[in-house]
Amino acid sequence: MSPPDELLRPRPAVSVVVPFAGTPEEAARVYATLEGLATRPGDELILSDNSWGAPAPPERIRRVIATGERSPGHARNRGAAAASSDWILFLDSDVQPPADLIERFFAAPIAARTGAVTGDIAGVPDRSTLAARYATARNFLGQRAHVNHPLRPRASSANLLVRRAAFEAIGGYTEGILAAEDTDLIWRLAAAGWGLEFNEQAVVGHAYRTSLRALGRQWRGYAAGARWLSERYPDFKPDPGLRRGLRLLLSRVGIGAGLSVRADGHSATAAAATPRRDRLLFLGVQVYLAIEEQVGLRMSNAADGGAADHRRLSRWRRR
């Protein structure tokens, strides 16, 4: 699929890399997503198969076997090593990109010392389950607040354009871990003098987990990654949900600032549109996730760590 002629303003070639670990049926859906992207001559579409079981891809897509450890960082590094372009667009296998996503990333000039550009991630509206309603309402993968963090900006690899020169200069993603490899990449780019930009036009959709159990597994994984980051970066301290909840409670009685924004940068007052019944149920979900987070803070983030931890964490990052 090629972009319309009116969109053909000059831009560099791009290698799209998607790490994958799933079933043949899930691989077929990822192939369909990649085939829906508008590309130009020189662009390439790569699925980095970290499950080693994806079927043969369509003609436009190259499948790279990411043997070795089962981790997102390893799969992304193998995909990047097989890529030939000066820019690599990392997407997660569960996002829904618009056909012109690559063109949107280059609609405005990118600064010479920018190492990565992130686009936003918008929750796909889903009211089918409590977990889906909660995650969509909170949109915790929204990028605006993360990129604009005053101390340590960060970005998700679910929708991240990276300059190959910068990527190679810092050695790519850290391997051997199950979570937080994308935050670590951005922070190492910053330490090496590379900037991070936010392109609010390059938005992908994301379908959040539809069961509380799956959402809890995801929260444990995030927490394990946060603890790993705190050990690697002493100035970073995790902010557990129980502590955030206490701040919110105190703010309601006039003590402290509480929580003013969601991850996507919208005011927390947007929650006023949520039905009263859901607002009450969401409080229960927050308590459940806060408990799961405490469990995750005590778990290993190692890709080859303890077998029990590995089994509990491996599925939540399925790509």
Residue 282 identity = F
Instruction: Please indicate, yes or no, whether residues 11 and 158 belong to a single structural domain of this protein.
Output: yes
**Of 98, 143, 102, residue with least CA distance to 16:** 102
Which of 161, 176, 208 represents a domain boundary (last residue)? 208
Instruction: Please indicate, yes or no, whether residues 197 and 221 belong to a single structural domain of this protein.
Output: no
Instruction: Please indicate, yes or no, whether residues 194 and 287 belong to a single structural domain of this protein.
Output: no
The answer to whether 175 and 93 are in contact (CB under 8 A) is no
Instruction: Please indicate, yes or no, whether residues 250 and 175 belong to a single structural domain of this protein.
Output: no
Q: pTM for the whole thing?
A: 0.85
Among residues of the chain, what percentage have pLDDT more than 70? 82
Mean pLDDT of 227-231: 95
Question: How many independent structural domains does the chain possess?
Answer: 2
Q: Is the pLDDT of residue 152 over 70?
A: yes
Instruction: Please indicate, yes or no, whether residues 143 and 280 belong to a single structural domain of this protein.
Output: no
Which of 150, 179, 208 represents a domain boundary (last residue)? 208
DSSP class of residue 284 equals H
Query: What is the per-residue pLDDT across 248-306, written as a single tens digit (0 to 9) for each?
Result: 554 455 554 444 333 444 434 344 467 888 888 998 998 899 999 999 999 999 997 43
Which of 208, 241, 268 represents a domain boundary (last residue)? 208
Instruction: Please indicate, yes or no, whether residues 201 and 232 belong to a single structural domain of this protein.
Output: no
- Buried residues in 129-152 as b, exposed as e (16+ CB within 10 A): ebbbbbbbbbbbbbbbbbbeeeee
Range of 261's domain?
A: 217-317
Among residues of the chain, what percentage have pLDDT more than 90? 68
Beta-strand relationship, 95-96 and 44-49: unpaired
What is the pLDDT, as a whole number, of residue 4? 57
Instruction: Please indicate, yes or no, whether residues 228 and 190 belong to a single structural domain of this protein.
Output: no
Task: Identify the residue with better confidence: 309 or 163.
Answer: 163
What is the pLDDT, as a whole number, of residue 1? 65
Query: What is the per-residue pLDDT across 27-70, written as a single tens digit (0 to 9) for each?
Result: 999 999 999 999 999 999 999 999 888 999 999 999 999 988 99
CATH code for the domain in which residue 95 is found = 3.90.550.10
d(CA 307, CA 59): 38
The answer to whether 95 and 80 are in contact (CB under 8 A) is no
Instruction: Please indicate, yes or no, whether residues 25 and 92 belong to a single structural domain of this protein.
Output: yes
Instruction: Please indicate, yes or no, whether residues 203 and 115 belong to a single structural domain of this protein.
Output: yes
Query: What is the per-residue pLDDT across 85-126, written as a single tens digit (0 to 9) for each?
Result: 999 999 999 999 999 999 999 999 999 999 999 999 999 988
Order across the sheet with 87-91: list the strands: 61-65, 44-49, 14-20, 87-91, 159-163, 114-123, 195-206, 95-96
Instruction: Please indicate, yes or no, whether residues 204 and 289 belong to a single structural domain of this protein.
Output: no
Least confident span in 108-112, 225-229, 233-237: 233-237
3-state secondary structure 47-109: EEECCCCCCCCCCCEEEEECCCCCCHHHHHHHHHHHCCCCEEEEECCCEECCCCHHHHHCCCC
Residue 280 identity = L
**CA contacts within 13 A on the Cβ side of 35:** 11
d(CA 250, CA 86): 49
Write out the two tokens for 219. 């929260």
Least confident span in 163-172, 226-235, 250-259: 250-259
Please return the burial class of 220, using the count of CB atoms within 10 Å of its CB with bins 0-12, 13-18 and 19+.
buried
What is the pLDDT, as a whole number, of residue 311? 44
What is the pLDDT, as a whole number, of residue 276? 83
Instruction: Please indicate, yes or no, whether residues 225 and 187 belong to a single structural domain of this protein.
Output: no
Mean pLDDT of 128-137: 91
